[in-house]
Chains A and B, each alone.
Chain A
Amino acid sequence: MSKNFIDDFPILRTQMNGHALAYLDNGATTQKPDCVVRSICGYYGGCNANPHRGVYELSAKATKIYEDARRKVAKFINAKSAREIIFTKNATESLNLVAYCYGLTNLHAGDEILITVAEHHSNLVPWQMVARAMGARLNYIYLTADGNLSAADIDAKLTRRTKILAVTQISNVLGLVNDVKTLAARAHEVGAIVVVDGAQSVPHIPVDVRDLDADFLAFSGHKMLSPMGIGVLYGKRELLDEMPPFLRGGDMIEYVTEQETTFAELPQKFEAGTQNVEGAAGLSAAIDYLQTVGFDEIARIEHNLTTFAIDELKKLPYVELYGCDAANKVGIVTFNVRDVHPHDVATILDAQGVAIRAGHHCAQPLMKFLGVNATCRASFYFYNTRRDVERLIDAVKTVRGVMHLA
């Protein structure tokens, strides 16, 4: 099975430092299958023109590719309408759009924004900005010992003062899945809206925005087989309609006079300037590919890889694992080797062809909460194999020796 996947990803056959590549940094970005690369070449090879602007056939082709991709994304996450899908450059831009256009227009002094301590900086720094600008308070849900959100904190901090709950569906450090559906229901009870960071969830589990009742959902194409530079913001239409535009210029207008402008309808209102059509084409091809593989199969493969990696790492007395005892875990293993800094671990693994991430993973408050400065993170995708995990484990076993500690 996995052999077929490797055929679709030529880069997985390449070498790194003289060894076959074991690419275990999928939380940072994923590799791209041939069909995605071909879709981009196909766009530039036969369909390139400025969409929405020309009356000629080529422009109509480009427009169709772009708008078909939007419809595909809408179906993929079960949005009610393609108008609720805004293309952005990545999850970070999507979250900033909500912060600037919803946060800065709907909050008042004394209101509260509630996030979790496990947020990526992109779902944290924008809310600090909103809180400061509006005189609101930024509150945190902390974690229990197993790494999951503290129910007591949720009870205590989700109140009538909370106007925005912004939460990641899957933590990019611990890989734990938050029960966003229940959180959204609770938030709506107190009158808050829910912003879901789907950067790590949409690539790995089926996400249905209507079932979750998410008000906003942000994700990046590049973490789900697509090119870099294309991202998505889903928003409920009634919310998006009320929000002011984010960027202003061409394509997002209806009428412009010397002093006044009226804005285009959704989704164009939020898509100023020439957009990333090849990115949308790639995202569309990636969604087709993911649906052919199927999320059940993706979950099965990633679960096997994750539990195998955790079981093997647990056998090494000098390895400390974080958030690895919870059941609701998807595809990410975070660990440290005793007395060795994660950067040195990553360098030693790199020399053996194993690519992992080391550092704070854009989640400094979480690192502080866990009492560490940095960690190592191996993150899997469905094209990884048992052999990749064996290579990881073998390389981890060499680390203390290389550092003259063994």
Chain B
Amino acid sequence: MLENIYTELIAEHSQSRDNRRTLPNATITERGHNPTCGDEITLSLEVTDGLIRDAAFSGDGCAISQASTDMMIELLRGKTVDEAKKLAELFIDMIHGDITDDDELEPLDEAAALKNISTMPARVKCATLAWHTFDTAIKRSEAQR
């Protein structure tokens, strides 16, 4: 069971520094936090004309929350906001065990590797933190417009 969770891919993403940056031209920054466990991220997005031109984060938390954030950033960079919203919804449905079909999950690319978290209720919040934070960030920026 542990091997299916702590895969090498997830270890790599959780340790990677590539996306841990501040964006000089960030248009949206949003903090996400799991009060029960202390996982914390700050997500920065550079969005112009409905396109996510760049994304980065800083934060501290468990391997699952950090890997999930890193994977999300790689997936969403270059996508339109509308595409990204659909992907976030798909990811959250996967973690909640509502979508299990691998073909359906294909658009998530590497992030689909977190599918097994759906069997670990104690860790669901860790996996979804970044994606909920993204969702909040977009909703907030849309409300401001």
**Hey, which bits of chain A sit against chain B, CB under 8 A?**
17, 340-344, 347-348, 350-351, 358-360, 364, 367, 373-374, 402-405
Alpha-carbon gap, A367 to B6, bound state (A): 26
Given contacts A343-B126, A347-B122, A351-B2, contact A359 B62 (CB under 8 A): no
Using C-beta atoms within 8 Å of the partner chain, give the interface range for chain B: 20 to 34
**Is the beta-carbon distance between A374 and B64 smaller than 8 angstroms?**
no
Quote the shortest CB–CB distance from A17 to chain B (angstroms). Answer: 7
**Is the beta-carbon distance between A341 and B120 smaller than 8 angstroms?**
no
7 A-B pairs, CB-CB below 8 angstroms?
Answer: A343-B123, A347-B2, A347-B5, A350-B122, A359-B36, A359-B38, A404-B11
A residues in contact with B123, CB < 8 Å: 343, 347
Closest chain B residue to A375 by CB distance? B38
Q: Which of B2, B8, B38, B123 has the most CB of A within 10 A?
A: B38
A residues in contact with B40, CB < 8 Å: 373
**Is the beta-carbon distance between B38 and A403 smaller than 8 angstroms?**
no
Report if B102 contacts A (CB, 8 A). Answer: no
**Is the beta-carbon distance between A358 and B37 smaller than 8 angstroms?**
yes
Report if B63 contacts A (CB, 8 A). Answer: yes
Q: Give the contacting residue for B38; candidates A340, A367, A402; CB below 8 A.
A: A367
Alpha-carbon gap, A367 to B60, bound state (A): 14
Report if B61 contacts A (CB, 8 A). Answer: yes
B residues in contact with A360, CB < 8 Å: 37-38
**Is the beta-carbon distance between A404 and B8 smaller than 8 angstroms?**
yes
Given contacts A344-B63, A359-B36, contact A403 B6 (CB under 8 A): yes
**Is the beta-carbon distance between A344 and B62 smaller than 8 angstroms?**
yes
Closest chain A residue to B60 by CB distance? A373
Given contacts A341-B61, A347-B123, contact A17 B1 (CB under 8 A): yes
Quote the shortest CB–CB distance from A376 to chain B (angstroms). Answer: 12
**Is the beta-carbon distance between B2 and A341 smaller than 8 angstroms?**
no
**Is the beta-carbon distance between B2 and A348 smaller than 8 angstroms?**
yes
B residues in contact with A402, CB < 8 Å: 2, 6
Given contacts A347-B120, A348-B2, contact A341 B63 (CB under 8 A): yes
Quote the shortest CB–CB distance from B4 to chain A (angstroms). Answer: 11
A residues in contact with B8, CB < 8 Å: 404
Quote the shortest CB–CB distance from A365 to chain B (angstroms). Answer: 13
Closest chain B residue to A364 by CB distance? B38
Closest chain A residue to B37 by CB distance? A359
B residues in contact with A358, CB < 8 Å: 37
Alpha-carbon gap, A367 to B62, bound state (A): 16
**Is the beta-carbon distance between B37 and A403 smaller than 8 angstroms?**
no
Alpha-carbon gap, A340 to B67, bound state (A): 13
A residues in contact with B1, CB < 8 Å: 17, 351
